[in-house]
Structure 1
Amino acid sequence: MDITIHTTPLPHEDPDESLAFYRDILGFEVRSDVGQGKMRWIAVGPVGQPETCILLAPPTADPGITEEESRVITEMMAKGTYGWIMLATRDLDDTFEKVQGADAEVVQEPTDQPWGMRDCAFRDPAGNMVRIQQVR
């Protein structure tokens, strides 16, 4: 089989804030931006990797979601326990300094993990955990 990861969704509450984080702070390019107001679906991805996207999406736009499920999703997002993603960079310390300098919420400074990985963590404007690990 020849399977790749194409798109993974992350919820947003404020599309403009999320777009500013992923485009302006992380440097991702915008692949598409459809909808209006808070009901926007924005595909972003790393420059030079057009086959890989993050879809910033309204978390409760699915018509099959009940009112109770919507409430739970909203609560989980507020706690930062609903969405998360792991990214990678060749220079973790430089990336950390740039993201921290843009006033992103730092969850963990660059740390050598017991399993051998060096990484750091931030929260995006929607509360999603964004972990960034060092790659060689």
Structure 2
Amino acid sequence: MDITIHASFLPHDDPEASLAFFRDTLGFEVRGDVGSGTMRWLTVGPPDQPGTSIVLHPPAVDPGITDDERQTIVEMMAKGTYASLLLATRDLDGAFERLQASDADIVQEPTEQPYGVRDCAVRDPAGNLVRIQELP
């Protein structure tokens, strides 16, 4: 079976702040931008990986969820417990310096984890946890 990851979804509550983080800070390219106002779906991804994208979407827009579920999603986003993303780089220290310079919400500086990886963690503008681990 030949299956690849095409896109993964991550909620946002401020499309301009999300663009600034993913495009300007992380260096992702913008592949799509549809909708208007806060109801925008943004597709971004690493320039050297055209087949893999992240779709940044408005939270809780699925018509099948209830108002209570929608409120729970918004509350979890505010606490940073709703969604997360794991990225990887060969230059963790350089990536971390770029994150610090952008005033990103730093959760953890580069650290050697007991499970064998070196990584750091930040929150994107919507509160999603973004971990970046160092590739060997």
TM range (shorter): over 0.9
Task: Indicate whether 1:46 and 2:38 are aligned.
Answer: no
Equivalent residue letter for 2:76: M
State the distance in 1 between where 2:102 and 2:28 align: 15
State the distance in 2 between where 1:16 and 1:61 align: 18
- 1:116 aligned partner: 116
State the distance in 1 between where 2:100 and 2:7 align: 26
State the distance in 2 between where 1:6 and 1:92 align: 24
- 2:94 aligned partner: 94
TM-score by length of 2: 0.99
Runs of 4+ in 1 over 4 A off after TM superposition: none
Identity in percent = 65
Equivalent residue letter for 2:47: V
- Structure 2: runs of 5+ lacking an equivalent: none
RMSD value over aligned CA atoms?
0.5
State the distance in 2 between where 1:14 and 1:117 align: 32
State the distance in 2 between where 1:81 and 1:99 align: 21
State the distance in 2 between where 1:14 and 1:50 align: 24
Q: Tell me the matched-pair count.
A: 136
* 1:77 alignment partner, SS class: helix
Q: How does 1:1-136 map to 2 (within 5 A)?
A: 1-136=1-136
Question: Cα deviation per residue 1:56-98 (whole Å; 9 max; x = unaligned)?
Answer: 0011111111100000001000000001000000010111011
State the distance in 1 between where 2:61 and 2:16 align: 17
TM-score by length of 1: 0.99
